[in-house]
Structure formats: C-alpha cells, structure tokens
Amino acid sequence: MALKILVIRVGRAGDMMMITPALRALQDSYPDAEFHMLTSPDGQRVLKHYSPRLTRFFVHRRSAWLAWFHLRRLRGDIARAGYARVFCFELNPTFTRLYAGLPLQADAIDMSRPGAHYARRCLDVVSRATGRGYDDYWLNLPVTEPGRAKALAALAEEGIDTDTFLVGFHPTYSGMKKASWRRNLASAKLWRPENFAELARLLADYGTQHGLKLRIIMDLIPEEQAVGEEIVRLSEGRVTLMVPPPDFQRYVATLERIDLLVTPDTGPMHIAAAVGTKFAALFGGTRPEDCGPYVPDTQFRVLQPAPGSPGIAGISPQQVYAACVALTSPE
C-alpha cells in the first residue's frame, strides 16, 4: 500500500501559492507517496491540477453552519484514512487538534518564527522531517493546455497575438468584496485609478518610442469591473478591460502569457510569480519579508512608500514605471 500523507492549509489563493515550494519538496522527498489535502474552497480550486499524486481534497468552509460538527466529521475522516504522516502548514491551532492523539507522525509549522517568510517556514517543516535542504525551491504552479488555449482565444478576441508585448494591471484585492468597515487593508493594497492611468500613459509612450507592439490589459471578474472601467476612462483607452467568464485555469494561463504584471500584494502576484511572469509588486503596509514574492529576485521589483507616507498611495506612477523599464530591459 502506498504511503499516504495529509497536507493541511486553509486560505485564499495567495496563501495556497506560498505552500507550493513545500509541496514540491514533499513530492520529491516521498516519490512513492499519495497526497491528500485539507484546505479551503479556494485551495481546492488553486491546487486541483497541481499534481496527479494529489488525489483527494477535504474542503473546510470556515463559515459552515454547525462548524463544530463539520470539524468533528473532518477528524473522523482523517482517523479513518490511515495516514502515515501529516504536514500542517496552517497557523490556526484548530487544525492541529484535528489529528492530535491519532497514531501518525505529525510535522507542523514553527509558530515561534513569525519574522521568517511563510514559504520558507513551510519548507523548514519539510527539512526537519527529511533532513534535506530546499534552498532553490520556489513558488510553482502548472499551467494546463486547455487553460492556455482559452487564454489565447480570449486575447485574440481583443486583437492581441503572440507577438504583442503584454502588460497586465491588477488593480484590486480580494478584501474589496467585504463591507466597507471591514476593508482594513484598502490603504495598503488599493493604488488609485489615477495612478494606474498615468502609468498606462508612461508605458504606452515607452512602447511607441521603442517600437514595441505593446498592449495593456486588465483581466478582472465582474465584481471588479467598475474599478477597471474607471481606469480605462482615465487612461483614455490605453488600457483594455477584459471581463470573461470566470475560469481559474484560463486566468493562470493569461498570467503566464503576460510579459509584465503590475499588482499590489495579492493572490495574482503569487500566481504570476509561480508561472514565471515578471512583475512589479506594490506593498503599502504588509511586509514583503513575510509574505512577499518567493521566487528569484531577478523576476520582480518590490515598491514600497517612503516611511511616513500614507500607505500604497505613497508610491508614485513614475517609481512603478522605472521598475517596469528595469524589468523589461535585457539583463
């Protein structure tokens, strides 16, 4: 019987992306093992096609009615599955209690090192279990061929072909959908539409001056459309807004196709990192040392406001433009 290993992490897309170095390390270290995952609906969506060896998902819904009963059922599922090991990358101690007392070997994230990058802390869990080092393991996510076909088709509808130098703007973050009094990260993650519009003008002029067939797009979901429309209006049409039917695999492939992405610290930043896209990341309050890009530093530039500046608004379009030019210049 194949060794069965349970991995635990519940979170949004960016949270899930940051465990992918550890997932790769686990698969390399246990080549004959079958992996199951206890995760969120977002986690299942993000990692559904991660590996054929990731064969089962237990989905935890934090807002489930009778949550205590749901957690009790999950503990029963874990007990019956016969796992040899569990790797817990979840910071909430609720999840360590799901397997406490069961006859399996457990390895959990070190809660005593809050200053270390979260992806590194997950890799350290695997290192302690295997005795191996994983210094060159970075964010990673496979791109499916059906996703690529859908992405190219959606771009072709906008007149964008494979010869186009494609810039992507991601002007939103997941917390925008919360009620206004719960949007506590807005000052850290929402760069003003006026700034995106000015950056679009600078980049369009750069493309003209250097003979680049350059296009700027935003690939947004319906709830984000109003923000995108404002940027299109302010940029005087220099930015193309796309709001295709939501399809995660198509979206991942679109991020792979983009040559350069401009984004705040949010899930698409981590996905772009994982598929090899270059990007300029805007951090207005969160710490890149803890939750920033976990890929080689040649792939990105981090921009932060000067001390005392009002969050992400303290980053100017000219600063972001300079970072974009640096990323597009030959190395």
Ordered by start, the domain boundaries in the chain are: 4-130, 146-328
Max Cα distance, the chain (Å): 66
- What integer pLDDT is reported at residue 137 of this predicted model? 97
- CATH of segment(s) 4-130: 3.40.50.2000
* Topology agreement, domain 4-130 and domain 146-328: yes
Judge whether 278 and 299 are in contact, CB under 8 Å: yes
Phi, psi of 190 (to 5 degrees): -100, 105
pLDDT attached to residue 72: 84
Mean pLDDT in order along the chain per 10 residues (331 residues): 91 95 98 96 96 95 68 89 95 89 92 80 96 96 98 98 97 66 63 97 97 97 96 98 96 98 96 98 88 95 88 94 92 56
Task: Classify 160 as helix, strand or coil.
Answer: coil
The pLDDT, as a whole number, for residue 92 is: 85
**CA-to-CA distance for 99 and 97, rounded, in angstroms?**
5
Instruction: Note the pTM of the prediction, 2 decimals.
Output: 0.93
Predicted local confidence at residue 111, as pLDDT: 67
CATH superfamily of 146-328: Glycogen Phosphorylase B; (3.40.50.2000)
Q: Find the helix or strand (DSSP H, E) in which 262 lies.
A: strand 260-264
Helix (H, G, I), strand (E, B) or coil at 98: helix
Structure tokens, 57? 């998902």
Block residue for tokens 């597009």: 328
